[in-house]
Amino acid sequence: MSSETKAETQTLTTPSYSSDVDNGIVKDVVLWRRKKINISVLVAATAAWVLMEVFEFNFLTLISWVAILGLASIFLYANMLRLLGKEPPNLLGLEVSEKTTTRIAHTVRAWIEEGIRWLFLVGAEKEWPVFVGAVAGLLSLSYLGSCMDLLTLVYMGTLVGMAVPLTYVKNEDKIKRFVEWLREKHKRYYQIIDEKTIQKIKSRIVKEEKTE
């Protein structure tokens, strides 16, 4: 293998520093290590939900008013600087870098691949409690979707997503013991059903095939 190929392989397999930083920021936000960002997310999500659900603003109206507010703020700020004899900042050079868009695309693709992989893993799972649990979770999500609209569901998901990880970290040992207890119960029930029902059906099918 040539030195150029080795260098290219090393470049492809080495994780980028920016992705590590992004993952660290997300982890800090989820675990409430950056309280200012957490409060900002909660305030923004709550404000959007109140405006669109309570005051019945539609999405386009809300985006338009946010854009008007941002435009007016920039206009007033630039004119205040001119009155004070200062040069307003040049914002024409602002752009979304190619690395950022590529990283976002890779993240979305990874989420989609994980979802598809999870469907195949659960569908091919030998233990029926895993399959039953997945179906029950999806049915619960479907029921919640019929009781509330998408915005409320996303808002509730945001609140739960910011509360559950912190609760899990604080009670990790208790939750692991409870999960192990549930897993043992599921295995025991599966063995009972397998011995009393599935094995009898298999033996009956084998006997019928032999008699034929």
Per-residue model confidence as pLDDT tens digits over 154-170: 888 888 887 877 777 77
Q: How confident is the model at residue 68 (pLDDT cuts 50, 70, 90)?
A: very high
Cα–Cα dist 196/189, whole Å? 11
- Model pLDDT for residues 132-154, shown as the tens digit of each residue: 778 888 888 888 778 877 788 88
Cα–Cα dist 173/27, whole Å? 20
Average pLDDT, the chain: 75
User: For the chain, what percent of residues have pLDDT higher than 90?
Assistant: 1
pLDDT at 55 over 50: yes
Q: How confident is the model at residue 96 (pLDDT cuts 50, 70, 90)?
A: confident
- Model pLDDT for residues 6-46, shown as the tens digit of each residue: 444 444 344 444 445 455 666 666 667 777 888 888 888 88
pTM of the shown model: 0.51
Read off the pLDDT of each residue in 49-62 and give the average, rounded to a whole number. Answer: 82
